C-alpha cells in the first residue's frame, strides 16, 4: 500500500499485483437528463445521439444509480464518490456571491488520478463546475484548485473561465 498525503487529506492506496488494463476515463454528467432522454437506455428520443450511444456501447453503463435532484450535490457526489451531505454540499452553492464550496479536504476524481502508480493522467474538466462561486475561497479557480490540470467552462453562475493549473 502507498500512503499519499496532501495538506487536507491522507489516503492509503492499495496496489493490485498487476497494472490494470486501459487508462482512460471519461465521465459524462448531464443536467436535467434522465434515462428517458437517452436512446442507449431504451428511450425513443427521435434521432439517436451517436456520440452518447457509442460511449455507452463501448464503456461502462450505469443501470442502477441514484442522483440528487439538485446540481451541486450531484456534482459533489460524482467528483468525490461520497454522499452529497458528506461533502458539505447538500444543496446548491449560493449564487452569485455565496462563500460555500466543495471543501479542499474532499478528494476529487482528478486528485485521485494523480495517485495512480501506473498512469500519468492528464485531467481536464469541460463544462459546468458549480462547486464554488466567484466569492468562495477558491473562487473561479475551483477545478484547478481541486486537482484538474485544465478547466474550460462555467462556475454554474454564468461566469465562464479557461484555466490551466498554476494560473
Condensed to tens digits (0 to 9), the pLDDT of residues 145-163 reads 899 999 888 877 655 566 6
Q: What share of the chain is helix, strand, coil (3-state, %, to 5)?
A: 25, 15, 60
Partnered with residue 13 across adjacent β-strands are: 2
Ordered DSSP codes for 133-159: -TTSTTGGGHHHHTT-SEEEEE-SSS-
User: How confident is the model at residue 118, as a pLDDT?
Assistant: 79
The pairing of strands 10-13 and 124-128 is: unpaired
pLDDT band at 110 (very low <50, low <70, confident <90, very high): very high
With beta carbons less than 8 A apart as the criterion, state whether 67 and 125 touch.
Answer: no
pLDDT tens for each residue of 127-137: 888 888 777 88
Distance CA 149, CA 145 (A): 9
Q: Would you name the residues annotated as active-site residues?
A: 71, 130
Q: Which three cell numbers stand for residue 78?
A: 460524482
- For the entire predicted model, the pTM comes to 0.73
Our measurement of the distance from residue 120's CA atom to the centroid of its chain's CA atoms, rounded to an integer in Å, reads: 18
Cell of 35: 434515462
Amino acid at each position: 500500500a502507498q500512503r499519499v498525503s496532501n495538506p487536507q487529506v491522507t489516503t492509503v492506496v492499495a496496489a493490485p499485483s498487476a497494472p490494470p488494463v486501459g487508462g482512460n476515463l471519461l465521465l459524462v454528467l448531464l443536467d436535467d437528463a434522465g434515462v428517458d432522454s437517452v436512446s442507449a437506455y431504451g428511450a425513443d428520443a427521435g434521432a439517436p445521439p451517436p456520440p452518447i450511444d457509442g460511449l455507452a456501447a463501448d464503456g461502462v453503463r450505469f443501470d442502477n444509480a441514484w442522483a440528487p435532484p439538485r446540481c451541486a450535490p450531484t456534482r459533489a457526489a460524482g467528483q468525490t464518490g461520497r454522499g452529497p451531505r458528506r461533502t458539505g454540499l447538500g444543496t446548491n452553492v449560493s449564487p452569485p456571491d455565496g462563500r460555500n464550496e466543495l471543501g479542499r479536504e474532499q478528494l476529487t476524481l482528478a486528485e485521485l488520478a494523480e495517485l495512480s502508480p501506473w498512469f500519468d493522467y492528464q485531467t481536464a474538466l469541460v463544462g459546468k463546475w458549480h462547486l464554488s462561486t466567484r466569492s468562495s475561497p477558491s473562487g473561479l479557480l475551483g477545478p484547478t484548485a481541486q486537482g484538474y490540470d485544465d478547466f474550460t467552462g462555467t462556475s454554474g453562475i454564468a461566469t465562464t473561465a479557461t484555466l490551466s493549473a498554476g494560473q
